[in-house]
Amino acid sequence: MRAVICLGLVALAFSGCNHRKPAVSDADYQAFKASFPGMTKQCLDAYRYGGFSAWRPDDPECFEMTPAQHWSGLWETGWEWTNFCPDPAKECNWMSKRGTWLTFAKGAFHGPKMVEDGVYRIDFVGRRTRVAGNFGHQASYDHLMVVDRVISIQKIPGQKYAKRF
């Protein structure tokens, strides 16, 4: 009899675990989910039950990513923007269309620190979001690209950047 009562109490205690109260309304959750296609269930749940502060924007762990592969092209970087344009791109102006927000995984680049705005020729192994969404500064980019390992990187002389105001 004691075992039955204990089992009943345990079942009752665990039955409440699936009834967490959402931190956001269903309408807010649906709008968030629509704005971030390809987001993993774990991160969608973090938003649903923890609100906006429980979610980190542009976290590659929150999105379905392609397998790591070799990429090369142009990388344009500056204050509040970082855009990757894969080969055969001849220029990389993010304002001409929504681009790819490029970020580096911890330990991906072992060279001197790059602090200059500019345009670079870059060759690397990395991953990109499978599904287009809203990434980067002001959600202005279609994809998130994560550099896992830099193969080579070289600043293109005389090119500050193509961004125009």
- Model pLDDT for residues 104-121, shown as the tens digit of each residue: 998 887 666 665 788 889
Show me where the domains of the chain are located.
24-55, 69-155
Mean pLDDT over residues 22-42, rounded?
Answer: 90
Phi, psi for 78 (deg, rounded to 5): -170, -170
Provide CB contacts within 8 A for 46, sequence distance 6+: 54, 55
Residue whose entry in the numeric block shows the structure tokens 């938003």: 47
Query: Taken in order 31, 35, 37, 40, is the CA torsion positive or negative?
Result: negative
Q: Which amino acid makes up residue 15?
A: S
CB 106 within 8 A of CB 29: no
Specify which residues 118 forms β-bridges with. 77
For residue 50, the surrounding DSSP H or E stretch is helix 41-50
Mean pLDDT over residues 36-46, rounded?
Answer: 91
- Rg (alpha carbons) of the chain, rounded to whole number: 22
How far apart are alpha carbons 23 and 18 in whole angstroms? 15
Specify which residues 77 forms β-bridges with. 82, 118
pTM of the model: 0.76
Name the pLDDT band for 40 (thresholds 50, 70, 90).
Answer: very high
